[in-house]
Amino acid sequence: MLKINADQFQNEVLNQKGLVFVDFYADWCGPCKMTSPIIEELANEVKEVKFVKVNVDENPDLASQYNIFSIPTFLMFKDGKVIHQFVGARGKDGFLSEIEKAKNL
C-alpha cells in the first residue's frame, strides 16, 4: 500500500478515477497499528479500489483540510471527491462493508 504525503495527494487521490481508500493514521496510534495489516490485506484483494495511507503527524495541513479529529479515520474518494467517511478500527468484514457502501454511492 502506498504511503503518501500532501504533495502527492492531488495526483494519487484527487486526480484518480474510481474509488480511493485513504487511511489517515499515526505511528503512535494503537488502533491504527491493529488495522494496518487488515488494510494491507484488503489492498491486495480488492483490486478495483486504490488504497493509500497518510500520516497525520507528517501532514497536519491535509488532516486539517479533511477535518481529521481522531484516528484512524478513513475517507473514500470517488473521482476525486469524498463520498464516504468513517472513524475507528474495524475487522476485515467491517472494512469490506464500508467499501461496499462507498461503491453503491
pLDDT at res. 83: 97
pLDDT at res. 25: 98
Closest CA relative to residue 9, chosen from 43, 46, 44, 59: 59
CA-angle at 2, arms to 100 and 23, nearest 5°: 50
6 noted as active-site residue: no
C-alpha cell at 15: 486526480
61 noted as active-site residue: no
Catalytic residue (one of 13, 32, 43, 99): 32
Total-model pTM: 0.97
If you average pLDDT over residues 61-86, what whole number do you get? 97
Give the CATH number for residue 94.
Answer: 3.40.30.10
Per-residue pLDDT band at 84 (split at 50, 70, 90): very high
Catalytic residue (one of 20, 22, 29, 71): 29
Tell me which residue range forms the domain holding 43.
2-103
Counting the structural domains of the chain, the total is 1
Per-residue pLDDT band at 65 (split at 50, 70, 90): very high
